[in-house]
Amino acid sequence: MTFSGKGGRKQPPPRATRAARTPRPGSDGGPFAEAKPERLISAEPRPVKIRADEAEANFKAVHQEDGVRLQKVLAQAGVASRRVCEDLIAEGRVTVEGKVIVEPGLRVDPDAVVIHVDGVRVTLKVEHRYVMFNKPAKVMTTMSDPEGRRSIDDFLDESMRAARLVHVGRLDYETEGLLLLTNDGDLTNKLTHPRYEAPKTYLVEVQGELPVKTAKRLQSGIELEDGPIAADRCWVMGSTGSRTMVEVTLHSGRNRIVRRMFDHVGYPVTRLVRTAIGKIVIGDQPQGTLRDLELQEIGHLKDLASAAAGGQ
């Protein structure tokens, strides 16, 4: 499912579908990096400079005398070695409860604080299970199907069944791609609440050559039978003349919303793949496989849930 633009010109890479996959744990670090701070959470680290009085105020606001040293908490969470974590703190890349910390002597209660590194939430303790499923087409987003069609349960191993995972949202029978499974009921409720929808990115293949102006129309907004809808972003990646590939990002979780949007403008969808939910990207995970989310991805997921709840 790759295209080049007219005249063979290369198109710029899509934002979500070409995003780097979450790094694997390194021999000296955790899921965020190996040993060097520049290879940690952010591709473009954002050190913050703060005044001495502000740094002191931030320290006093979150310091727990009987707590655990911040660099030790980060190291135990798999961010990197303790030495590298000290560098991250000194560079102003770590926040505790939203406050920039530059003093490695800070002590915190890891069960009671929210910590971010380079803007990415650090998961300090995993009590639940979070799984990414790359759903193939013609699979029901249910744990069983009375008509005998394939369902999610057909792909689970025994440990996943024992964990009593449920799906976060759904994909229709023909739609492929990223589906999250978890036994964290609170997070599931927040992410599926009708008043909140996480941004989701799709690759959409349609019949014919879809004009750029039509993509802009979908982004500007159209009126469907159940109300108005507008894509956050709608980008024509390329066309062969008989079919066009489009990348769409939108917040709505209304039933079959992507298919209905393209039907409305006269371009029926022939293939639909969800590639991302927020910053969680399917990457190169093979279809039909499941894997546990890594700590960085769980942090992203909890940030989405926090946004749904209106705060941290």
Calpha distance 278→303 (Å, rounded): 10
- For residues 257-281, average pLDDT: 95
Calpha distance 178→171 (Å, rounded): 9
| pLDDT band at 84; cut points 50, 70, 90 | confident
Task: Indicate the burial class of 51 (C-beta count within 10 angstroms; 0-12, 13-18, 19 or more).
Answer: exposed
More confident residue, 194 or 109: 109
Which residue, chain included where needed, has tokens 């954002």?
46
pLDDT at position 52 over 70: yes
For residues 281 and 21, is the Cβ–Cβ distance under 8 A? yes
Which tokens belong to 79? 């961010």
| pLDDT band at 310; cut points 50, 70, 90 | low
Q: Cα-atom radius of gyration of the chain, to the nearest Å?
A: 22
pTM for the whole thing? 0.67
Q: Which of 28, 109, 172, 186 is catalytic?
A: 172
Closest CA to 105 of 135, 45, 60, 149: 60
- For residues 16-22, average pLDDT: 36
pLDDT at position 25 over 70: no
Domains parsed from the chain with CATH numbers = 37-118 (3.10.290.10), 130-309 (3.30.2350.10)
172 is catalytic: yes
For residues 68 and 107, is the Cβ–Cβ distance under 8 A? yes
Calpha distance 201→149 (Å, rounded): 26
| pLDDT band at 127; cut points 50, 70, 90 | confident
More confident residue, 53 or 186: 53
Which residue, chain included where needed, has tokens 């499923």?
133
Identity at 120, one-letter amino acid code: V
What pLDDT score was predicted for residue 47?
A: 67
Mean pLDDT lowest among 11-25, 58-72, 134-148, 204-218 = 11-25
* 290 beta partners: 133
Largest CA distance in the chain: 67
- For residues 34-47, average pLDDT: 47
**DSSP for 175-191?**
-EEEEEEES-HHHHHHH
Mean pLDDT lowest among 8-22, 112-126, 129-143 = 8-22
More confident residue, 195 or 232: 232
